Amino acid sequence: MEVIFKVQRFDPESTDLVSHFQEYNVQLTDSSTVLDGLIKIREEDDGTLSLRCSCRAAICGSCAMRINGEAGLACNTKIIDVMPQDGSPIVIEPAGNLPVIKDLIVDFQPFWAKFKAVEPWLQPGDIQPEGEYIAPEEDMVHLAGVVSCILCGACVSDCTVLEVDDSFLGPAALAKAYRFSRDPRDESDDQRLAQLNEPGGVWDCTRCMKCVEVCPKGVDPMDRIMLLREKVMDAGHNNTSGARHANAFAKFLKNSGWLDELKLPVMSFGIFNIKAMIGLIPLGIKSQLAGKRPPIFHHKLSSAKEIKKIFEKVESKK
Amino acid sequence: MQEKNLFLADTLNARTFALAEKSGLPLMTICSTCQGVMSQANQRLTEDPEYLAQVNETLADEGLEYKGTIDPKHLLWIIAEDLGIDFLETKIVRKLEGFKFAPFYGCYIVRPSKALKLDENPNRKQALEQVIEAVGAEVVDFPGSTLCCGFPILTINPKNSQTMVANHTIDAKDRGADSMVTPCPLCHLNLDGYQPNAAALAKRDIDLPIIHLPQLVGLSLGIAPEKMRLNKHLVSTKKLLSELADAP
Ligand code: SF4
Ligand code: SF4
Ligand code: FES
C-alpha cells in the first residue's frame, strides 16, 4: 500500500534555522511499522533524513518521536494503526520538550541531567550487610512495571508541565526516584523524599496522564508520582500547598461528605501565605460580582455520617 | 483523594455506584474529572473480584453492596452515543451558524484511554466536535484541545497553571475561535476564572468566553442564556450573546 509521510525537517546548518515539513510517498505492507517507513525513505529516497534507531524491537528506547501529534516508539507503531482514514499523511515530528539537533534527533542532555538529579542508584545505609543482600520478592515484584523503563523519553516529550516549565523533574526521572525509594535495600529515603518535596518535584505534576498514555512499557509514571506524594506526606512533609490541598480535601470529605470550595484554596495556599491569599482576592471579588461563587455556609451532606464511617473504617485498617 | 488513600477513594466511588444500582438507573455525570475518576475506580473494582469483595465488606455496614454493573457516562457521550447526533439535530431550534468554537476536552475524558473505553468507542475522541457541528457552528482545531487546563496545580504552581490557560486560550483565539467549549467544569473554572491572570502573564488581551457543554447545547435548544447562567461568567459572554441575538 502507498503511505504518505509528512516529516518535520530541521537542518542546523541551514541559513534560516526554521523547521519545515516535507512529504514522502512510500510503498509499504500491512505489517510495516512507522520506523520501517522512515528507514525506507532514508535508504531509497532521501539520505539526508536523520533519525535514531537501533533495536527495532522496542528495547533500546532510541526511536521515540511524535506520530500524529502523540509520542511513541516508531518501531513499535504499526502503519495501519496510525494511517488516517481520509488519505491524509501520517505526521512525524521529533519528540517534544527536548531541543532538536537535526530532523527527528533530539538532544537528551536535559533528560539525563534530571535523571541524574534523582540519584538513580542504590544508597545503602552506613551499616554494610555482611553477605549479599537479597531483597525479598514481595518487596520487588510491584516494581516490575517501573524497572522496565527503557529511557525512551516518550513521557517527557508529551508531559504538559514540561511544556510550560523545564525546571520540573518530569515523569521518567520521578518514576525512577520511586523505584529507588521503594527498594528495601535503599536507606536514603529521608534525603530523597525531602528533595522530591521541593519545587519541581512531585507536587508540580498536573496529573494529566499523558505520560501514562504514551509510555510504551507500562511504567505509569504518574501513578508512581502519586505514590511518591503519599510517601512524602507520610514522611511528615505536610507543609507544601500540594500536601495541604490533599489533606484539606480529605478532611472536608470526611467531615461533611463534600468539598468546601470556599475554604479549600485558602487551606491549600496555607493560612499564612499572605501573597497567595491576596492573589485569590481578585477572583473572589470578581466571582462575587458575577454571582458565581461557592456557598459561604458549608452544610453537611445528608449522608455525611455514612461517609465519615467509611473513612474511619478504612483508616483504622491502614 | 487518590493520592491520600486509593482504597478509600475506590470505596467512596463504590458507594456511589451501589446507590445507583439500587435505584436501578444509569449513572450520568456532567464533569470530565468525575468521569475519569469514576471510570478508573470502576475498572479497578470490576477487574478484580477480590478487591471488590474487600470494598463491599466496608460498604456492608451501611447495608450496601456494589455488584459491578454500573457504567458511568458523561453527558457528552450520552448525547453522542445514546441519544445520537441525529436525534440532537432534530431538537435544534436555533442553529449557531457563523460561530466558531474551539473544543477543549481536557484530560480526564480522554485519558487513560483504557478505563474510558476509547478503543471500543472511537467516537468518544470526536464527540465534542460532532456536537459543535450539529448545532451548526464551525470547529476550530488547536493543539491544546486534549491537554491539561492547569487546574490541578492552580494552588501548587499558579504560574505554570496560568501559562497553560494562556497557551490554550491564545492558540484558540488566534485561530479564529469566538469561544471555547468544554465538557469539564474544572477546566471551565481555570480557563474562565483565571483567564484575566493568564492574560496579564502573557501581557496581552485574550477575552475568550468559555462555554460549558450543556450551555452550548442549551443555546441551540432555545434555552434562555440567563437561565443557564451565561451572564455569570468571569470572561463576559455579552458580545457572543449579542451576536447570537443579532444573527438571522
Ligand atoms: S501526569 Fe504529570 S508527569 Fe505525567 S505527563 Fe502529566 S504532568 Fe507530566
Ligand atoms: S517511563 Fe515509559 S515513556 Fe518514559 S522513558 Fe520510561 S519507557 Fe519511555
Ligand atoms: S529502535 Fe529500539 S526502541 Fe525503537
Q: Mean pLDDT throughout A57-68?
A: 97
pLDDT over threshold 80, residue A247: no
B40-75 in b/e form (b: 16+ CB < 10 A) is: bbbebbbeeeeebeebbebbeebebbbebebebbbb
Q: Where are the domains of chain A?
A: 2-106, 109-234, 245-317
Query: Is the preceding omega at residue B112 within 30 degrees of 0, hence cis?
Result: yes
Q: What pLDDT does A302 receive?
A: 72
Q: Mean pLDDT throughout A290-311?
A: 71
**Domains A2-106 and A109-234 fall in the same CATH topology:** no
ipTM of the complex: 0.90
Q: Where are the domains of chain B?
A: 6-62, 85-246
* Cα four-point dihedral sign B165, B166, B168, B174: positive
Nearest to A51 by CA among A38, A61, A69, A68: A38
Contact: A161, B107; criterion CB under 8 Å = no
Distance (Å) from CA B164 to ligand 3 centroid: 32
Most A CBs within 10 A among B157, B164, B171, B230, hence the mutation to make, goes to B157
pLDDT over threshold 60, residue A293: no
| CATH architecture for residues B85-246 | 3-Layer(aba) Sandwich (3.40)
* A92 CB within 8 Å of a chain B CB: no
CATH superfamily assigned to domain A2-106: Beta-grasp domain (3.10.20.30)
Q: Mean pLDDT throughout A304-315?
A: 84
pLDDT tier for residue A292 given thresholds of 50, 70 and 90: low
Decide: residue A129, CB within 10 A, 0-12 exposed, 13-18 middle, 19+ buried.
exposed
Distance (Å) from CA B131 to ligand 1 centroid: 29
pLDDT over threshold 70, residue A297: no
Distance (Å) from CA A61 to ligand 3 centroid: 5
Nearest to B193 by CA among A266, A260, A285, A271: A285
pLDDT over threshold 70, residue B29: yes
Residue A58 Cβ < 6 Å to ligand 3: yes
pLDDT tier for residue A263 given thresholds of 50, 70 and 90: low
Q: What residues in B contact A142, CB-CB < 8 Å?
A: none
pLDDT tier for residue B3 given thresholds of 50, 70 and 90: low
Distance CA A197, CA A193 (A): 6
Average pLDDT, chain B: 95
Residue A226 Cβ < 6 Å to ligand 1: no
Tens of pLDDT, residues B139-163:
999 999 999 999 999 999 999 999 9
Residue of B nearest to A259 (CA): B1
Q: What residues in A contact B108, CB-CB < 8 Å?
A: 209
* Range with lowest mean pLDDT among A78-82, A229-233, A312-316: A312-316
Contact: B147, A240; criterion CB under 8 Å = no
Higher pLDDT, B100 or A130: B100
Q: What pLDDT does A243 receive?
A: 83
**CATH of the domain spanning A109-234, picked from 2.160.10.10, 1.10.3720.10, 3.40.50.300, 1.10.1060.10:** 1.10.1060.10
Ligand nearest to C-alpha A216 = 2
Residue A222 Cβ < 6 Å to ligand 2: no
Higher pLDDT, B174 or A261: B174
Residue A169 has phi, psi (to 5 degrees) of -60, -35
- Torsion of Cα atoms, B101 then B107 then B109 then B113, to 10°: 130
Q: What residues in B contact A208, CB-CB < 8 Å?
A: 107, 111, 147-148, 152
Specify the residue with its C-alpha closest to ligand 1, atom 3: A171
Contact: B15, A310; criterion CB under 8 Å = yes
* Range with lowest mean pLDDT among A91-105, A228-242, B92-106, B197-211: A228-242
Ligand nearest to C-alpha A205 = 1
Amino acid making up residue A18: V
Residue A28 Cβ < 6 Å to ligand 2: no
Q: What residues in B contact A287, CB-CB < 8 Å?
A: 193, 234
Secondary structure (DSSP) of A14-65:
SSS---EEEEEEEE--TT-BHHHHHHHIIIII-TT-----S-SSSSS---EE
The ligand 2 atom nearest the CA atom of A156? 4
Q: What pLDDT does B248 receive?
A: 63
**Conformation bin of residue B31: beta by default, left when phi > 0, alpha when psi is -120 to 50:** beta
Residue of B nearest to A316 (CA): B8
Question: Can you tell me whether residue B28 is helix, strand or coil?
Answer: strand
Distance (Å) from CA B166 to ligand 1 centroid: 19
Residue of A nearest to B234 (CA): A290
pLDDT over threshold 70, residue A283: no
